[in-house]
Each structure stands twice: as structure tokens, then as C-alpha cells.
Amino acid sequence: MAEETGGTEGGGTGAEDDNPKTGLGKMEYETVFKAVEDAVFLFDVERDGDGEPRFVFRGGNPSHERATEMEADGCLGTPLRELFDGDGERLLDEYRRCVETEETVTYETTLEHGTGSVEWRTKITPVVEGGTATSIVGVARDVTERNKRRTELQRKEAMLQHTTDVVLLVDENGRIRYQNHADEAVLGHSTRDLTGASVTEYIHPEDSDGVEAMLAEALDSPEEVISGEHRYRTPDGEWRWYETRVRSLLDTPPIEGFLVSARDITERKAYEERLESQRSDLEVLNEVVRHDIRNDLQLVTAYAEMLEDHVDEEGQEFLDILQSSTANAVELTRTARDLATVLLQDDAETQRVSLERSLEQQVEAVRSAHSGAAVTIDGSVPDIHVAGTDMLEAVFRNLLSNAIQHNDKALPEVTVSVTEHDSEVEIRVADNGPGVPDAHKEAIFGKGERGLESEGTGIGLYLVKTLVESFGGDVCVEDNEPEGSVFVVRLPVAD
């Protein structure tokens, strides 16, 4: 709506003589009236017997006709209330105020036209003759698009101010020109402290060169977002870690600077440090398991074998228990070693692994280690490759060993079968043991529990589940008929 207008005293827009103040005559006024892009209009002020003003449309310029879709000739003499239908009553208050105060009144309103809602900024000025307002001259401007842009700008500004990320605008000299309010809440420094300060003012001395290098790299690669991590000093002297992203917009008006966003990652860095410490501890434990404990157990096994010729029949029973327990402990250290290896390694990419070689080798190894068990393969193992790593052997070794160690029969029986499908292969390890109750079929792998603390058969099945899922497969346990359990492993066939 109108940005500029002025009050009028004495004559109206139809003055016949030149205006001594402006030097403009009637023709000049008419030219301006018709050419101006704002909507200009005129209402006569009539009064009833009680002196109450009544506003009657007298005319408007071409811009007014186009904007309001009102033809001046067809609307002449129409009262304000009727001219704008439901909006007329609301506008009457503004017009009455203009007449009563004999001053220019500015207001914004939304009016319904044929093309939809239009937001107007309007200035109405009384024409006063003989101490009485006889007409009102109005200038209106369509501010619909301007208000939309302002609303959108306010929305973006609100989002910027309420984000928990720090946002800075840094000039080409590395000095801060703008910062959102999150700076004060997150960084602890006020806007006054930061404005004009060097972007490295509160950066750790060991990290300041890295920040300057980020700005230089962003300058050389304006299309890229440069990321980095650094420490920032708060007012109380605490150093906090921030992840920072920088993009150069020096050639982009009206920004013309480096756009910097930063997020506090102090807790994440502390968590990463704890993980690294735990990783180091696990590596030490892995070394102990792999060497010290395993060496001692092998020594126990060797001495137990030497005792076989020196014990009587009654002592043989206890020696057998000793040898069996030692063998189980050796197997446990091997499983613990495998699990530690899996936990310590970074996300290892799967590769093509021969199913036939991996499975048959472990079947033979378990047969040799458990001569008192019957381990057979039902049918043949297809010569295919599956997704996995060299740790696939640990999956089969643990399933086969588990089927024997937790079997309550005099002769443990384990049967392995393989079925090939379109995109996956199913390996079934069935036994004649006591079976697994339905309530424990998930917990046996540690699902829903805290890792190794789950109630089950130990870390062997936890390792199986961890490995199989890392290969993109799955594992479960079912009931065997007529007794026992069947552990089912499904692995994707490698391309």
C-alpha cells in the first residue's frame, strides 16, 4: 500500500489554476494521477442530519481500477460500506478517524477481490475546506508479495535464532560480522564480544591453524563445504569440541563472506575416547587369552595325558573329567579370541568364501576333537560361494561344538545338511540333545540381553549371531524331531 502521501488543505485534485507551491497545473496533476503505479482514489464526505459522516466513492486512477477490478464509472456514488461488502464496516473506523482528527491515517488490511485476497497498505488524507473535511484522498499499495517475503524472512530468522547450532558470518579477513543467538547460549560469549573478533579468538592454539586452513580451502573451493573439528574456549575457561562446516560465499550478495556453522560434539568426543580406551583394554585381554591362558591350559592338557599311565581305575574317572573340562576351556579361549577379533576389527567388508571348504574342514576338525560323537553330513555340500570372511569357519566350529558339548546322550549325534535357494543358502545343524525351550530360543543368542551376560550356552552362540548378521544373514534355533535342536543359518550367495 502507499508509502508516501500528504495532507491537503484548500483545493482538491481538480484545481483549475496552477498550484503556487508546486508550479503544477491541472494537466500536470491529471498526468501524475493517471501515471502513478499506486492506486489513488477519492471519497466525498457527506453528512446526515446528525452530522455523521458518510463516505461516497468519487473515483480512482487507472491503477486503482486494475488493482480492485472496480470500474470508476460503475461505482461512482457508491457508499464505502457497500463498495467493499463485508470489509466496508472495518474500513469505516479508519475513515471516521481520518475525518475526526483531520490527519493522515495509515493502515494495512486484507481485501477480497476477484483474483483472491490482496494485502494493502493505505494512507488516507482529509481535504479540509472551511475547517471541515469535505473529501478524502487515498493512496494504496499492494504489499501482498512484500509481506510474504517478510514473513518468510521472519520464519527463517526465527529458525536461525532457535537452532542449537552456532551460525557465523565471517568476512574475508577472518573477522565475525554476524552470529545467531545460539552463540551466546552455546558458546557463552555475548554478541558484543564476538562481533568484530577474529574467528580464531577463542580457538585452542593447537587448532587455530586448522581453522585458518579450512577458510583457505573453502576460498579455493567455493562450491564445497569444508568440515573440521576443533576446541573452543568458553568464558569459564572450559575447552569444548566443535564440528565446524565452512562454505565460501564471498561472491554471493548479500552474504559476501564465509558461512560457518558449528555443533558441540564434546560428549561424542568423550564417548569416542572411552571406546578407544575400551578397545585398548580388549586388545590386552585378547593377548592374555590368546597366549597366557591358552598356554597354561595346553600345559594342563599335556600333564593330564602323562598321568594316564599313573592312575588306577578309580582315578581315571576324575582324570577324564579333568581332560574334558580342560578341552572345553581351550575351546572357550579360542571362541573368546574369535569374538575379540570380531569386536576389535573395523567394519570388515564381506567377500566370496567357499562354503564347501569352510564347512567340511570344520566338520573334520570337530570329528577329530570329539571321537565319542557321530558327526555326519546329510547329502553333499554344494560348491558355491557365500558372503562372509575368514571368520565363517568360527560360525560352523561353534555350532558343531555346541551341539556336542551340551548334549546329554551317551552318543551325541550331529547331522549337517545344506539347501541351496535362489539368492541364499540354508545350513542346518541338527542334534539329538535336550533341545531348547521356546522361552529361551531368542535369549540363547543374547538377543534382548546385555551381550555376554545373557542366559544361554555362552559366548559361542553370541559370536555366531554377531558374525552371521555381519555377513548379511540370520540364524535361529528350531525343534528337531523327535528330539533335540536344529540351528539354522541362512547366508546370502555371493555374486
Model pLDDT for residues 454-470, shown as the tens digit of each residue? 333 467 888 899 899 99
State the virtual CA torsion across 47, 48, 53, 58 in degrees, nearest 10. -60
Q: Which band of pLDDT confidence, cut at 50, 70 and 90, is reported for residue 451?
A: very low
Q: Which band of pLDDT confidence, cut at 50, 70 and 90, is reported for residue 15?
A: very low
Average pLDDT of the residues in 355-360:
96
**Does the bond joining 437 to the residue before it have cis omega, within 30 degrees of 0?**
no
Range of 52-66, 237-251, 286-300 with top mean pLDDT: 237-251
Higher-confidence residue of 417 and 336: namely 417
Average pLDDT of the residues in 440-449:
73
**What pLDDT was estimated at residue 475?**
96
Average pLDDT in the chain? 84
Q: What is the CA radius of gyration of the chain?
A: 44
Is the model's pLDDT at 375 over the cut of 80?
Answer: yes
Higher-confidence residue of 384 and 369: namely 384
What is this structure's pTM? Answer: 0.48
Counting beta carbons within 10 angstroms of the beta carbon of residue 454, is it exposed (0 to 12), middle (13 to 18) or buried (19 or more)? Answer: buried
Is the model's pLDDT at 11 over the cut of 70?
Answer: no
**What pLDDT was estimated at residue 139?**
95
DSSP 127-158: EEETTEEEEEEEEEEE-HHHHHHHHHHHHHHH
| CA proximity to 229, closest of 184, 264, 205 | 264
